[in-house]
Structure 1
Amino acid sequence: MKGLWKGFWDKVKDIRSRWEYGVAGLFSDDPVSEEFFEKLEEHLLAGDVGLELTESLLEDLRSFAKREKVGKASDLKQHFAQEIKDTLQRVPKMGEPLSFDGPLGVILLVGVNGSGKTTTAAKLAASFRKRGETVVLAAADTFRAAAIDQLRIWGERTGTRVIAQSPGSDAAAVVFDALQAVKSVGRGVVVVDTAGRLHTKHNLMEELTKIHRVARREVDPSCIETLLVLDAVTGQNGLVQAETFHAAFPLTGFVLTKFDHTARGGILLSLASRLALPVRYVGLGEKEEDLDSFDVDSFVEGLLSLKQEVPSDA
């Protein structure tokens, strides 16, 4: 666990370096002033925290500063950090890695094209295989031949069986075949890479609904996870995507990809506040091992530069 925590911390430090001259840099030894709150508001909005949550955070911080008669902005940092932690931690299963109680688990990865679904599917497959699980990848993005080919390549890299049919095939049929493949060995996990054609939203949602219906018929519903894969670079547009998918096709959580290329970590707070669904994983690179469980404490500590080094007992 120590190695995983440290790895997450090292990668989060890259995020901190882009934020520390923004949000974290505001918590200086200068006196608490209206200018401080205005600048903090600007940085939070620029970081995709969202208007409603930004106003809530600032209102709480103002009340704390007044109640405790805080003189320096730096003396507000710990309280602000706790506000952010509370926002994230009140969401059940925030940062918890996926696990299944039953013999068969299904992970449906949904999201728009280009968000990183196929790569995330491969990373999840590699993670479960390291736990000793039987894993099958289902190439249910049958609209794009390139997506099928890419998943096959990842299957070879990770040593994972890929179930696929020809482009244009019924995606739900692919998922059914993948489920039967795992059932034949008694237990395991099916990771489903789906299409993401939002410009034909109705057809896409119908396809996803059919896939979900097939999964529910074959598997205990409590063992089906539907994760929206979001590109962190999209910012507040990611929240719009989340609300669109969740309204048509209930989600159970999120994977935030390209987390190493963006300072817009505030989308995490928006997702937690608006939808009360957990961020399970963050993608921190292109390698199969570059998928970590989201860690609230290390994210907030890195974001606000609360620690410079990983604790020796971490």
Structure 2
Amino acid sequence: MEEKKGIFHKWFKGVEKIKEGVKQQFTRLWSADSLQEEDWEALEEMLVQADLGPILAMELVEEFQELKKQKTENGNWQDWLYGKLASILDGNDSSLFSSAQAGAMKAILLAGINGVGKTTLAGKLARYYSLLGEEVALVAADTFRAAAVDQLEIWAERAGCFFFKGSPGADPGSIIFDGIEAARKKNRGFVIIDTAGRSHVNKNLLAELEKMGRIVQKNFSPENIENLLVIDAMAGQNAFLQAESIGKAIPLNGVILSKWDSQAKGGIVFRIKKELELSIKYLGVGEKIEDLQPFDPDQFVKAIVYDEEVP
């Protein structure tokens, strides 16, 4: 129970920055008798800086202006904002393999640019699902960095799962194929594949990722595959360029936000869901193997809008 509270505390820290700005600006404007155009512009700028993006920021400001015009004695901007933000995250499904074929092998393919923490998240996912009773295999398909293979092997030991690596310099596609076969022989039905970080503007690297995706598709039924994009929670606008490019190489099922701490602005969650129509699956909230939290949209919005912490 104490471990769970600790995880939630780290999760909550990631909304502090956006919560501070939201409460300060909205409260001030709501109670003011008269406002200038620059006051509304300041609110819009705050929302953009919180990574909600210009489209949603403008929409929120316009609707808030109308709400203030119709303000009643018992009016409450917090309930309005909760409803608005919750509706954006409506339908967010943080679960994996919700329609998977029972008894069939499952695969998670992790993709993303350099430095977002895919290898670390692969280890966290391995532990998470091992604790749920899955027989996990970790496949090291990052052939760009020898250190990544060594790092993933350490994570596999910590998670207590099967680990597969290919020969140094081997084609990552062949490593994935051989890793799947090895997992099948070892009766490991839950395969997590770590891929190399790749620039979202490098066509050759994206073509290589597309090839890896096809290999996975040939070995698993569609409902038993989760292609997940790992994004740095502080990436801002660049996260959308990454998702657009990588999403053309492989069909994405959802997003994991890594490096979620007090520096993360939080608004990126709404923009990913609204503009990219991708569900937020997990938050990486620390460096330890247990620091992985399924995304809870309702608690997330409440933590931003109201004076309450996640229990």
1:219-267 CA distance string (max 9 Å, x none): 1111111100000121111121111211332211100001114232111
Counterpart of 1:38 (choices 41, 60, 76) is 41
- In structure 2, the residue matched to 1:255 is 256
Give the CA deviation at 1:208. 1.3
Task: Kindly provide the amino acid, as one letter, of the partner of residue 69 in structure 1.
Answer: K
Provide the TM-score with structure 2 as the length reference.
0.89
**For the residues of structure 1 that align with 2:51 and 2:59, how far apart are their CA atoms?**
14
Give the CA deviation at 1:41. 0.9
**For the residues of structure 1 that align with 2:39 and 2:95, how far apart are their CA atoms?**
35
Stretches of structure 1 that go unaligned for 5 or more consecutive residues are none
Alignment of 1:84-233 (within 5 A): 84-91=85-92, 93=93, 95-98=94-97, 100-102=100-102, 103-186=104-187, 188-198=189-199, 201-233=202-234
Task: Kindly provide the amino acid, as one letter, of the partner of residue 281 in structure 1.
Answer: Y
Stretches of structure 2 that go unaligned for 5 or more consecutive residues are none
Answer yes or no: is the 8 Å Cα contact 2:97–2:224 preserved in 1: no
- In structure 2, the residue matched to 1:270 is 271
- In structure 2, the residue matched to 1:50 is 53
Q: 1:90 to 1:130 in 2, by over 3 A?
A: closer
Answer yes or no: is the 8 Å Cα contact 2:207–2:249 preserved in 1: no
- In structure 2, the residue matched to 1:19 is 18
- In structure 2, the residue matched to 1:69 is 71
Q: 1:200 to 1:22 in 2, by over 3 A?
A: closer
**For the residues of structure 2 that align with 1:8 and 1:171, how far apart are their CA atoms?**
34
Answer yes or no: is the 8 Å Cα contact 1:122–1:151 preserved in 2: yes
Answer yes or no: is the 8 Å Cα contact 2:200–2:245 preserved in 1: no
**For the residues of structure 2 that align with 1:241 and 1:202, how far apart are their CA atoms?**
13
Task: Kindly provide the amino acid, as one letter, of the partner of residue 217 in structure 1.
Answer: K
Task: Kindly provide the amino acid, as one letter, of the partner of residue 13 in structure 1.
Answer: F
Task: Kindly provide the amino acid, as one letter, of the partner of residue 178 in structure 2.
Answer: D
**Identity in percent:** 40
Give the CA deviation at 1:98. 4.9
**For the residues of structure 2 that align with 1:43 and 1:97, how far apart are their CA atoms?**
34
- Residue 291 of structure 2 corresponds to residue 308 of structure 1: no
Task: Kindly provide the amino acid, as one letter, of the partner of residue 302 in structure 1.
Answer: A
Between 110-119 and 35-44, report the one with greater CA deviation: 35-44
Alignment of 1:233-252 (within 5 A): 233-252=234-253
1:129-176 CA distance string (max 9 Å, x none): 001111111101112111111111111221122111133211111111
**For the residues of structure 1 that align with 2:295 and 2:309, how far apart are their CA atoms?**
19
**For the residues of structure 2 that align with 1:78 and 1:36, how far apart are their CA atoms?**
22
Q: 1:70 to 1:44 in 2, by over 3 A?
A: farther
- In structure 2, the residue matched to 1:83 is 84
Provide the TM-score with structure 1 as the length reference.
0.88
Count the aligned residue pairs: 305
**For the residues of structure 2 that align with 1:36 and 1:71, how far apart are their CA atoms?**
22
